[in-house]
Amino acid sequence: MQATPVARLTAFGNLDEDDYKVLAKMGGTGRKFAPNEFLQREGSDFRRIWLLMTGFTASSVNRANGRRRLLRIHLSGDLVGLPSLALITAASSIVALSPVVAIPIKISVLTEVFESYPRLAAMIFLVSQEERVALMDRLISVGGLSIVERVANLLLHIHARILCSDPLAGEAFYLPLTQGDVADLVGCTPVHANRAIQHLRSTGLVSWNRQDVELLDRPALVKLAGYIPRIVERDSSWLPVNR
Amino acid sequence: MQATPVARLTAFGNLDEDDYKVLAKMGGTGRKFAPNEFLQREGSDFRRIWLLMTGFTASSVNRANGRRRLLRIHLSGDLVGLPSLALITAASSIVALSPVVAIPIKISVLTEVFESYPRLAAMIFLVSQEERVALMDRLISVGGLSIVERVANLLLHIHARILCSDPLAGEAFYLPLTQGDVADLVGCTPVHANRAIQHLRSTGLVSWNRQDVELLDRPALVKLAGYIPRIVERDSSWLPVNR
DNA sequence: CGACTTCTTGAGGAGACTCAAGGGTGGTGG
DNA sequence: CCACCACCCTTGAGTCTCCTCAAGAAGTCG
- Asked if the Cβ–Cβ distance from B233 to A127 is below 8 Å, we say no
Looking at per-residue pLDDT, the higher value among B22 and A161 belongs to A161
- pLDDT (mean) for B191-217: 93
Distance in Å from C10's C1' to A223's CA comes to 36
- Asked if the Cβ–Cβ distance from B118 to A114 is below 8 Å, we say yes
Question: How far does B181 lie from chain A, in Å, by closest CA?
Answer: 15
Q: What pTM value is reported for the model?
A: 0.93
- pLDDT (mean) for B99-126: 91
Which of B60, B123, B133, B154 is the best residue to mutate to test the A interface, defined by the most A CB atoms within 10 Å of its own CB? B133
Q: Please name the residues in contact with A140: beta carbons below 8 A apart, sequence gap of 6 or more.
A: B61, B69, B71
Q: Strand C positions with any atom < 7 Å from protein CB?
A: 5-11, 15-20
Of the partner residues B115, B129, B241, the one whose CB lies closest to the CB of residue A86: B129
Of the partner residues A61, A92, A114, the one whose CB lies closest to the CB of residue B240: A114
pLDDT at A1: 40
How many interface pairs between A and B have CB atoms less than 8 angstroms apart?
A: 179
Q: Please name the residues in contact with A5: beta carbons below 8 A apart, sequence gap of 6 or more.
A: A51, A52, A53, A76, A77
Round the average pLDDT of chain A to a whole number and report it.
89
Query: Which 65-94 residues of chain A approach strand C with CB closer than 7 Å?
Result: 65
Q: Which pLDDT tens digit goes with each residue over B60-108?
A: 999 877 789 999 999 998 999 999 999 999 999 999 999 999 999 888 8
Residue A196 neighbours by CB distance under 10 Å? 22
**CB-based burial, A1-28: b 16+ in 10 Å, e otherwise:** eeeebbbbbebbbebeeebeebbeebee
Does residue B129 surpass a pLDDT of 80?
A: yes
Q: Which pLDDT tens digit goes with each residue over B23-49?
A: 777 767 789 999 999 999 999 988 889
- Asked if the Cβ–Cβ distance from B87 to A231 is below 8 Å, we say yes
Closest by CA position to B80, among listed B100, B65, B62? B100
Beta pairing partners, A232:
B87
Instruction: Determine the residue of chain B that is closest to A87 in CA distance.
Output: B232
